[in-house]
Structure 1
């Protein structure tokens, strides 16, 4: 599909994010269940609730843009989740597996940070200030989630080293 305008690109990217977030709503409970570290479990569970809010915000953005809330397959998120799922299937619960879960979660967060930053920039360029504001809220939450994962990793990695 060729993108004929910046607004079409914005909508296309939002559809991609919508699919990505919906995939995460399904994946995060599995990641939390597989985690051994209680802080990791709690963080993933809390981020699940945020992710549900991200889906709702994207639906709000579709309304603001007078577009139907329709997802477009996000192969990148699909791949990131699939890669993370492999780690869950390979090992029993341990700090090493928790370290793998954190790595997978951070790769997902970094993808989302890049995607939301790009879409926010498009919205700003188009003068869609309310859309940009909503996207910034989600972008801030994704950044905070990444920082929390880094803090948990500091403890988990030391535990994994001792295993």
Structure 2
């Protein structure tokens, strides 16, 4: 389907982030198992629960708006998930792998932050007030996750990798 107007663009972008979130629900448990840092494993597990809530939030706003999502696969998230798999396979378990997992997770968070920021702007322009509130709530959760990952890296995760 061609994108012909702002509503089509909104639906396309929402479909894309929905796919990204679905992919993350499969990737986050793998990341939690691959880390040697219990705090990082807990952060990945917490974000999995949060991501499931974000998917439910999208389901709710799709229903409220009476729209239908497209069946697309988010290529960007697919690539980021693949990078995470490569890090797990190519780096021995320990602080260095943990640093790589944090870096990869932050790339995914930054993608989500950009996506939800764009969606919020589109929702505002289209007058979708309830959708805007839901999207802004998710945007804040994504920013908080990014900050938590930064904190974990700064609290010694990356330092331990440097000393390894």
Which category describes the TM-score, using the shorter chain as reference length?
A: over 0.9
Asked whether 1:31 is paired with 2:25, we answer no
- TM-score using structure 1 length: 0.97
- Deviation at 1:162? 1.6
Aligned residue number for residue 112 of structure 1: 112
Unaligned runs of 5+ in 1: none
Q: How does 1:68-147 map to 2 (within 5 A)?
A: 68-147=68-147
- Deviation at 1:70? 4.7
1:129-161 Cα offsets, whole Å, 9 max, x none, are 110000000000000000000000011011112
In 2, are the aligned partners of 1:25 and 1:52 still within 8 Å (CA)? yes
Unaligned runs of 5+ in 2: none
Dislocated runs of 4+, deviation >4 Å: none
Q: How many residues align?
A: 163
- Deviation at 1:65? 1.6
In 2, are the aligned partners of 1:123 and 1:131 still within 8 Å (CA)? yes
Distance 1:66 1:26 in 2: 28
